[in-house]
Structure 1
Amino acid sequence: MYVAVKGGERAIEAAHALQEHKRRGDGRLPELSIEQITQQLHLAVDRVMTEGGIADRELAALALKQASGDNVEAIFLLRAYRTTLQRLAVSEPVDTASMRLERRISAVYKDIPGGQMLGPTYDYTHRLLDFHPAGQRRNAAAENRRTAAGSHTARF
């Protein structure tokens, strides 16, 4: 049930100011840049772009920043923005034979033409915090990329 709030525009403006103050946090610390968000929170940015329906990393990062990192709110913001845009084009079918994939999985079929490719995922991690400094970790991802380089997508 929704109950009307008294205070009108002044109350709304005050609520916005409080939220902005809370979002910004300690003013003595440097504010997060859009570039930092796109580079360091790439999974969150990807999710906001996908669910928000706009393939623009900077807009997705801006939405995440404005939403204080709340993915659901950021997705809502991006969807609302998308409704203000004109349709630019109609998509055409794409020849996927030479497409470079990062991930291809099927929940429906065990064996798909060309096989499944797990790609970067947290699906099989132990979901435990890693307290080792980043410089001490073995870069398995780079090794896997070298192994997968040159392989093409099966056409089906």
Structure 2
Amino acid sequence: MAKSALFTVRNNESCPKCGAELVIRSGKHGPFLGCSQYPACDYVRPLKSSADGHIVKVLEGQVCPACGENLVLRQGRFGMFIGCSNYPECEHTELIDKPDETAITCPQCRTGHLVQRRSRYGKTFHSCGSLPGVSICH
């Protein structure tokens, strides 16, 4: 097959604001679709349709404590999590893996116990289990 035949078919969408062609552009947060008439038309939209996490599985029998709807298993940009099926009206989320609490007391506040946590880069570390409510433990 000739190289020119690969790139002759254009299947681009049109801009809902002005009707011009949408093109893939690159930004600091990754690629996105933008109007080809920029800066006259400033329409943009993400390439991925749902940045909030797509539904992997509906968890039947498990209800959201905030609104009473079913909970669903979602795949987000930081991994799997459990969220409400009524999103975005209800923003209730839960972690799949609860942090493991150790028997070691916190060396700074001496009231909480150390909990194994995971950083946004995937590294494991230990911090005080009463950390969100206690400002002295850092």
Classify the TM-score, shorter chain. Answer: under 0.3
Query: Per chain length, whose mean CA-contact separation is higher, i.e. which structure has more relative contact order (CA < 8 Å, sep 6+)?
Result: 1
Task: Give the TM-score, by structure 2 length.
Answer: 0.20
Larger Rg computed on CA atoms: 2
Q: What is the TM-score when the length of structure 1 is the normalising length?
A: 0.18
